[in-house]
A = this chain, B = another copy of it.
Amino acid sequence: MTRKPSYSSPPVDSVDPKAVLEVCLCHGVRRASRAITRTFDAALAPSGLTSGQFGILAAVAALQSMPVPVLRGVLAMDRTSLNRTLKPMEVNGLVAIVPGAGRRASQVEITPEGLQAFREAGPLWRAAQSDAAERLGTARIGQLIAGLDVATGLFDQ
């Protein structure tokens, strides 16, 4: 018998929706990011900082002061998104954005209030992170963070 061409069936290169849910790196990381962010946001809430703001403060606190483009690299964040995110933090006095002396790019500096907020949030973060390590196991959380770091490096830009 002759084989009928099945124009209505999926082409051989069609994508199985279930496979996307199971193996898509983007879907997986976004889903985890939502769940984890909710947990950390709740843990940090008493400090008045969001998880994103806490991370930014950590980066700026680590170096005291840095050019905005450098911070962009550290956070793997879009240029304009970072500027937007820094706005409310500047308004709230957590950071200061000072025009680069001479001809350099603007510097982001942590303010005393920002440092104070970071220090106050520290124990809250530590508790959340410890809880995460306990849930995942130290081996698994280490492996996970290492994998995320590699992925960030490979995909940023």
In the complex, what distance in Å separates the CA atom of A26 from the CA atom of B31? Answer: 12
Question: Closest approach, in angstroms, between the C-beta of A24 and any C-beta of chain B?
Answer: 6
In the complex, chain A residues 1-29 whose Cβ is within 8 Å of any chain B Cβ: 10, 13-15, 17-18, 20-21, 23-29
A13→B148 contact, CB < 8 A:
no
List chain B residues, Cβ under 8 A from A74: 21
* Contact across chains for A40 and B26 when beta carbons are under 8 A apart: yes
Bound CA–CA A69/B59 (angstroms): 37
| Nearest Cβ on chain B to A32's Cβ, whole angstroms | 4
Chain B min CB distance to A121 (Å):
8
Say whether B148 contacts A135, CB under 8 Å. no
Is the contact region of chain A dominated by helix, strand, or loop, or is it mixed? helix
Copies of this chain, complex-wide, total: 2
In the bound complex, do residue A17 and residue B59 qualify as a contact, i.e. CB atoms below 8 Å apart?
A: yes
| Chain A 24-43 per-residue mask, 1 if CB under 8 angstroms from chain B, else 0 | 11111111111111111000
Given A18-B62, A20-B125, A28-B144, 16 further pairs, Cβ under 8 A: A14-B119, A15-B122, A17-B62, A20-B54, A23-B129, A23-B145, A24-B125, A25-B129, A26-B37, A26-B55, A26-B129, A28-B149, A31-B148, A39-B155, A144-B144, A147-B147
Can you report 13 residue pairs joining A to B where beta carbons are below 8 Å apart?
A14-B119, A18-B62, A21-B74, A26-B39, A27-B51, A29-B32, A30-B36, A31-B76, A31-B77, A31-B148, A31-B152, A32-B152, A136-B151
